[in-house]
Amino acid sequence: MNPDFLLSLTIMWKGMFGIFSVIILITLIVMLIQWVENKFFSHKEEH
């Protein structure tokens, strides 16, 4: 195979992995924020 082609595949794989990990991280942060809001702020509204 062409070395330039393998190099481009390596760069593309790293970029896709970076984008995928950032999406997972943002999803987890949003879920954590919603959990904290439901846990701590819903009790104050009830009482």
pLDDT tens digits for the chain (47 residues)? 788 999 999 999 999 999 999 999 999 999 999 999 998 887 665 55
Rg of the Cα atoms in the chain: 20
Q: At which residue do the structure tokens 């595949």 appear?
A: 9
User: What token pair was written down for 39?
Assistant: 């846990």
**Alpha-carbon dihedral 38, 40, 41, 42, rounded to 10 degrees:** 60
What local confidence, expressed as pLDDT, does residue 44 receive? 63
What local confidence, expressed as pLDDT, does residue 30 receive? 97
**In three state form, how does the secondary structure of the chain look?**
CCHHHHHHHHHHHHHHHHHHHHHHHHHHHHHHHHHHHHHHHHHHHHC
